[in-house]
Homo-oligomer: A and B are copies of this chain.
């Protein structure tokens, strides 16, 4: 009774995952890893940091149990430790959104005038997929599409979109999706498609939320 040392030690440990996620660069890493495993060098490119620094951030996440690693030849691939981590990252974003405060201004400075783009919810997309009157574009990098994607989606990484506009089936509306609400790939794609005269909209959330909702996914064979 009253062993407050033990209580403090217990809460200090409970909180380790929060400290690990408590850094913008590490949060970016988690956001990318939610799409599938990646090597250190790829991750360093994604977060625009040196390889050494990225490696150190990864060790921190590893020690906190947020990610796991596997070696393959000279590369080491990191991935999220499990679904609890995805829930944690989602809860964190939702808390920030509920608070809003500083978030609004920053989000619009990064995300631009997202309000002017049409969107579609997960449920609506499911309905339209059954009717088959929609083309779904996965605009994430090819690796992430290969790891897992919405069944029937075409892989058109946003950087290739301009060159491949003519390959996209006509006569149907287009839905683009990417990593999640704080990813701009789908926004950029929808803008580009609209400029080309197509009816295009953005899936409100990203692929991880689709999978987390228990909806079907497909992988490259």
Which chain A residues have a beta carbon within 8 Å of chain B's beta carbons?
A: 1, 3-4, 6-19, 21-28, 31, 48, 64-66, 81-82, 84-85, 87-88, 90-103, 106-107, 109-110, 182, 188
Contact = CB atoms under 8 A, between A and B. Distances in A.
Contacts of A97: 84
B14 A103 contact: yes
A96 B17 contact: yes
A81 B99 CA distance: 8
Query: Lowest 10 A-B CB distances belong to which pairs?
Result: A65-B99, A11-B24, A12-B24, A19-B22, A6-B110, A18-B22, A88-B91, A91-B91, A17-B95, A84-B98
Given A64-B99, A109-B6, A188 B1 contact: yes
Contacts of A92: 14-15, 17-18, 88, 91
Contacts of A65: 95-96, 98-101
Given A11-B27, A11-B28, 20 more contacts: A1-B188, A3-B110, A8-B25, A9-B110, A10-B103, A11-B25, A11-B31, A13-B103, A14-B93, A14-B96, A15-B23, A17-B92, A18-B18, A21-B22, A65-B98, A66-B95, A81-B98, A82-B98, A84-B97, A88-B88
A106 B23 contact: no
Nearest to A110: B6
A189 to B, nearest CB: 12
A27 to B, nearest CB: 5
